[in-house]
Structure 1
Amino acid sequence: MVLNVGHGNCSFIHDGYSSVVVDVPNAIPLLGAMASSNADVIEHLILSHADNDHIKGAAALMAHSEVVVKSLWVNPDSTKFSDAFLDLLTVAADRQSRGLLHVRTNLNVGADGLLDIRRIGVRVLHPGIVWAGIGPTGKDHPSGPISSNGMSAVVRIELDGEPALLLPGDLDSKGFNEMVKAQVDMKAPVLVFPHHGGRSGASDNRAFAADLAAAVEPRLVIFSHGRTHFTNPRKEIVDGIRDALGDGVQIACTQISRACHKNELSLAVVGSDPLSGQTACAGSVRLTKTDDGILWEPHASRHAQTIDALESPLCRSHLRGSSSADKGVVRQSRRSADD
């Protein structure tokens, strides 16, 4: 499940027995999702990089009295010294010393296979060994500048051995180009777009979006963002995705973007959805592994109603002229694994 956490990223993967979490800016939505799945143990807590909108809830989650986090995976980053990051490391060190937590600081391609648990496969596609060894750099480094976003771990979730979800964190254009150079297989049916649909660090954001979409070939692209932060997704990013994939790809935002609806939200727009919040568009997106592949439920009927009420929805070209199934009617099927 890709959770609606406002401006940030959080994914909860649960196969009925085991759980993996990737990023946690706010523990409250995650705790709700875990409770609904009767899950109280997280085998792996994976933090893509040290920005607050990916880690701010991690320390509280690890210290929660009703949740067990068995292992933490996080990369070093000497350029980050926020209170949230320092608190995270302090709590992790304390729990490690008391035998309550295993801390791993090698979240890179060398960890491949170490994160798999039961039916959940976790593939770390980036950073590679060289970049992981170097870490974020300044402009004077022989390798040139490598930002924290460029070092963001790119994780692909697999269910029963099949790609399900690509989580690139805040991957920037230089990091993406490094993956292309290494001929990394990035394909997945669902992509959570990096940096919440904001600027990629490329000179041409539209071209970056097109190249990334072409590499991943998703059927669903999710923008995880908050309505009150920035104006994501950027139009040129959405246009780039359309350039590569046409109108066949479904685009869903967790919250209603100001790029789609500038005016104040009314009840006619947001309807009533206490679980996802009154600024939700698709809200939290549940993915399901079935015999027919990966299906999803983006709060479908409400999502379509919300989009119809928006001033200028960027994803409208997909909905116009589509069948009711394409408009997000929830598809009923036998569930075998959720994420």
Structure 2
Amino acid sequence: MMDLPELIILDIGHGNCAIVRDTEGVIVIDSAHGATLIETLAHLSIREISHILISHADEDHIAGIIDILLDRNIKVTNIYINSDAQRKTRTWEALRRAVRDARQRSGTRVVVGLTTELTNQLNVGQVKVEILAPTPELAMSGAGGQDLQGRRLNPNSTSAVIGLVHDSHRVAILAGDIDQVGLNNLLEERSDLKADILVFPHHGGRPGGADSQAFAQQLCDLVQPNLVVFSIGRGRFGNPRQDIVEGVVTSLPTAHILCTQLSSNCADSVPDSEPAHLNALPARGRTSNSCCGGTVSIKIAGNTTTYAAGIAGHQQFIDRVSNPLCRRFKV
């Protein structure tokens, strides 16, 4: 078993999900629909979750949380989420009902307000959990409103951005679905955004009305990660976009780019058999052989944080892909 603390970025198909395992508890960040999260918790013998953090109310970030809250074999102590008065989907209503069930049945504490004010209040061991965005005043306006500069906000503009710091070193940024307006607000609050690992926002999709390549380049220039992860489902929405990947490569020519599943932009077909480089953790694409990086496990160790165990095998897998986006713009 990997030493703690650990960050696990799940292949959950189109959507986001991550698990932080620390010395005093477990944090789950988002989850799309499907059994991958529950299977991973069972694989790791996890039956108690200290915090569930939900970046925003999109279905591909909340649907899998419903099953966790309704599972009587899993205890959830706290759940943190921002309100979204515009959200009227069945999944959002189902999540609200599941939250009520967990609160009434098992005393789950529900905090409506996942903002920068909670930085360093969500730690469950050695890792400092930062909420880098949104600020309280941005969350007060919310989707459909405006920021203090008069820019219109949509749900992605107020998506929570989460940083993980260990030994005074920022190991990772999980950027939710933040768009250009959200990024502008984040930069008005702080500019120290360097991190080893970036889970790229919106699965490599369009960042609102902004220029996609310029957005990707700006974000990567700020974060300067060694590893960029796109959490995607093969064939869904054509992600990651070619102009997004071009922006990433332009900014970070030596960074390792990893998609959880094999994008249809990179290969017309999937391998005939399961790739040998995948680890033993559950991955949504495993049964269909559609994994690329699959589920990624990262040993958190300050400025020596390593994710090297599967990277060499992933690079060899990419060598066999017909036309990988991440190699297309290399010079």
TM-score in same-fold range (> 0.5)? yes
Match of 2:261 in 1: 255
> Bigger shift: 6-15 or 116-125?
116-125
> Is residue 296 from structure 1 mapped to residue 314 from structure 2 by the alignment?
no
Query: What fraction of aligned residue pairs are identical, expressed as a percent?
Result: 31
1:291-334 per-residue CA deviation (whole Å, 9 max, x = no partner) reads 761111473344233212212101226999xxxxxxxxxxxxxx
Aligned-partner Cα distance in 2 for 1:99–1:270: 41
| Equivalent residue for 1:128, pick from 125, 128, 135 | 135
Aligned-partner Cα distance in 2 for 1:158–1:292: 10
Aligned ranges for residues 187-202 of structure 1 at < 5 Å? 187-202=194-209
Aligned-partner Cα distance in 2 for 1:312–1:92: 44
- Structure 2 unaligned blocks of 5 or more: 1-7
Q: Report the secondary structure of 2:41's partner residue.
A: helix
Is 1:284–1:298's contact at 8 Å kept on the other side of the alignment?
Answer: no
Q: Report the secondary structure of 2:9's partner residue.
A: coil
Larger relative contact order, structure 1 or 2 (CA cutoff 8 Å, min sep 6): 2
Match of 1:281 in 2: 292
Q: Report the secondary structure of 1:222's partner residue.
A: strand
1:119 positional shift: 1.4
CA separation of 1:67 and 1:230: change in aligned 2, threshold 3 A: same
Is 2:116–2:134's contact at 8 Å kept on the other side of the alignment?
Answer: yes
Is 2:171–2:302's contact at 8 Å kept on the other side of the alignment?
Answer: no
Q: Report the secondary structure of 2:247's partner residue.
A: helix
1:251 positional shift: 0.4
| Equivalent residue for 2:181, pick from 166, 169, 174 | 174
CA separation of 1:299 and 1:143: change in aligned 2, threshold 3 A: same
Is 1:269–1:306's contact at 8 Å kept on the other side of the alignment?
Answer: no
1:37 positional shift: 2.8
Q: Residue type of the partner of 1:80?
A: R
Is 1:286–1:297's contact at 8 Å kept on the other side of the alignment?
Answer: no
1:161-197 per-residue CA deviation (whole Å, 9 max, x = no partner) reads 4311111110001100111122242221000000000
Match of 1:312 in 2: 323
What is the TM-score of this pair, normalised by structure 2?
0.89
CA separation of 1:318 and 1:120: change in aligned 2, threshold 3 A: farther
What is the TM-score of this pair, normalised by structure 1?
0.87
CA separation of 1:138 and 1:290: change in aligned 2, threshold 3 A: closer
1:15-64 per-residue CA deviation (whole Å, 9 max, x = no partner) reads 24410010011352222322333321110000100001000011110111
Aligned-partner Cα distance in 2 for 1:79–1:294: 40
CA separation of 1:97 and 1:132: change in aligned 2, threshold 3 A: same
1:160 positional shift: 4.3
Q: Residue type of the partner of 2:117?
A: G
| Equivalent residue for 2:270, pick from 259, 265, 269 | 265
1:114-141 per-residue CA deviation (whole Å, 9 max, x = no partner) reads 2112113211011112111111125899
Aligned ranges for residues 1-339 of structure 1 at < 5 Å? 1-26=8-33, 28-98=35-105, 100-137=107-144, 143-245=150-252, 247-261=253-267, 263-267=268-272, 270=275, 275-276=282-283, 277=286, 278-290=289-301, 293-297=304-308, 299-316=310-327
Number of aligned residues: 318
Structure 1 runs (4+) deviating above 4 angstroms are: 138-142, 268-275, 317-320
Q: Residue type of the partner of 2:272?
A: L
